Structure 1
Amino acid sequence: MATRRALLLIADIGGYTQYMQFHRSVLGHAEAATRRMLDRVVGAARGFDLIEVEGDAAFLSRDVDGLDGPATLSATTRAVVAMHRAFHVERRFVELNMCPCGSCTRTSDLTLKFVAHVGEVATQTIRRRRKLVGPDVIYVHRLLKNTVDVPEYLLVSDDLLGSGDTADTGLPVREVPQDLEGFGPVRTFVVDVAELAAPAPLPDPTWARRLGSTLGMVGRGLPHVLPHRRPRQLAPAG
């Protein structure tokens, strides 16, 4: 099986499990809100291919052939900044729709974090679905289980940060040693996403968009609140 070198990036919604459980009564709205946010996140990752949506996370990759170390790191941070802003814009649009349910009004509880790694991958196709496989794919997923103490961050592996001159990255990184299951002690580096780019004001949705968003949420929620009809029982013969 042929392998290639790829940049692996996972965008993971923080607080997702608690959000979905707390808003179980309006599950349709909670699902629609997180789906909309993930869709905007993936759309903002220019140059990356979506490999899979994994519940509350999007797993993306791009080939690094022709990119040197600093360029690979720069591609990562550009994508993270764009995806982070897209997430927060859509989160605000959801929160400002006119539906008063707890799911819509409490989307501000959700955050977005990222992990990134560069390594060797192979492509596996099963029933026309393309997947990436290999130890480095496992490695980047293991990075999600970490000890980082900030809510929104970019955590990169030593392979990614070390592929360039770490002294010249210009990133406010700090080392956070990890002990990853199956890999043991490793070096990783974290940066607060808020420090990657100067914050810009988030736009407010127009009234037309607020109305459209509200109607969309109502439609998504109807199957979860309408009573389910039991099938009519046939009268016994005779």
Structure 2
Amino acid sequence: MPPVEKKVILVIADISGYTRFMTKNRMELIHSQHLIGELLKAIIREVDIPLQVAEIEGDAVFMYALRPNSQAKWQKAKEQISNKLVSFILAFSRKLDYLTGSNTCHCGACGSLEQLKLKVVVHAGEAVLDKIANFTTLHGLDTILVHSLLKNSVDAAQYIMLTKAAQQELGFQTGGPFGEGSEEYPDLGKVETLVWTDPLEGIASGEKITKPAYGILDKTKRKIGLMAATMALGLKLKKTGRFRNLPPGD
């Protein structure tokens, strides 16, 4: 297949604190990587059409969604992608809670798991898809930009970041849980962003996610909001009790 340029939504779910975690536990590298692998698998299980996994990048899952020709299909796809942004953080948190709550191991890696968080970065633009051997690879300025955004000025370990292009494409309104910001990079210039810091706390409180500022379709988002709030509150109750005989959540 020759290289082809497509309109895409690009998403990276990246584990915050990975380098510190691996460095701190360099004597337990195999065990440490096993734990990271379990967290990455929890994210990957949430990936569904229209999103596809492009690559596993050490501590991150790089995903993309191609824009279909049908406007009706694209509208539905955008709603699905919007819902997934929160689902990734919820799935990560559920798995992290299970690993910390059910593990009787006292090694450094298990003891420092709770320091790990998840950041989700989203951008909309164009990418060149190329088939190299058996792999489909993505190239172009927009793929460089979304990766560059992982290094930013946000003073939080867990958040959802949308570029202005992603916000406009997905239909998110400004305000509400999202604060406006910007980043600047050599060659790429200034990038306007919207950031929701610590979305898990917002969901657990039962606020923000049901407001129009979060979603595209209010009715759909109210349902998603109630489900997400229930799951998140369940997390907090489970953390308090530390029930160690429960099966994995996913």
CA offsets 1:95-120 (integer angstroms, 9 cap, x no match): 23121111112210100001101111
Q: 1:166 to 1:86 in 2, by over 3 A?
A: closer
| Contact 1:70 1:165 (C-alpha < 8 Å) held by counterparts | no
Could you tell me which residue of structure 2 aligns to residue 59 of structure 1?
62
Could you tell me which residue of structure 2 aligns to residue 4 of structure 1?
6
Could you tell me which residue of structure 1 aligns to residue 84 of structure 2?
79
Could you tell me which residue of structure 2 aligns to residue 149 of structure 1?
155
**Residues 43-52 or 6-15, more deviating:** 43-52
Radius of gyration: which is bigger? 1
Which letter does structure 2 place at the counterpart of 1:200?
L
CA shift, 1:164, in A, is 6.0
Which letter does structure 2 place at the counterpart of 1:22?
K
| Contact 1:7 1:72 (C-alpha < 8 Å) held by counterparts | no
| Contact 1:117 1:157 (C-alpha < 8 Å) held by counterparts | yes
- Calculate the aligned-residue CA RMSD, in Å: 2.4
Could you tell me which residue of structure 2 aligns to residue 31 of structure 1?
33
| Contact 2:82 2:170 (C-alpha < 8 Å) held by counterparts | no
Given candidates 10, 15, 19, the residue that maps to 1:13 is 15
Say whether 1:172 aligns with 2:172: no
**Residues 89-98 or 60-69, more deviating:** 60-69
Name the SS of the counterpart of 2:29 in structure 1: helix
**d(CA) in 1 for partners of 2:189 and 2:81?**
25
**d(CA) in 2 for partners of 1:154 and 1:53?**
19
Say whether 1:126 aligns with 2:132: yes
Bigger relative contact order, structure 1 or 2, given CA contacts below 8 A and separation 6+? 1
Identical columns (%)? 28
Could you tell me which runs of 5 or more consecutive residues in structure 1 were left unpaired when the two chains were aligned.
Answer: 211-238
Q: 1:59 to 1:166 in 2, by over 3 A?
A: closer
CA shift, 1:93, in A, is 1.9
Say whether 1:103 aligns with 2:105: no
CA shift, 1:45, in A, is 2.2
Which letter does structure 2 place at the counterpart of 1:14?
S
**Residues 118-127 or 16-25, more deviating:** 118-127
Q: What TM-score comes out, normalization by structure 1 length? A: 0.79
CA shift, 1:135, in A, is 1.2
Q: 1:164 to 1:115 in 2, by over 3 A?
A: closer
> For this pair of structures, how many residues does the alignment match?
209
Which letter does structure 1 place at the counterpart of 2:31?
H
Could you tell me which runs of 5 or more consecutive residues in structure 2 were left unpaired when the two chains were aligned.
Answer: 203-208, 210-224
| Contact 2:130 2:136 (C-alpha < 8 Å) held by counterparts | yes
Name the SS of the counterpart of 2:233 in structure 1: coil
Q: 1:101 to 1:163 in 2, by over 3 A?
A: same
Say whether 1:207 aligns with 2:245: yes
**d(CA) in 2 for partners of 1:80 and 1:189?**
13
CA shift, 1:40, in A, is 0.8
**d(CA) in 2 for partners of 1:25 and 1:173?**
40
**d(CA) in 2 for partners of 1:72 and 1:159?**
16
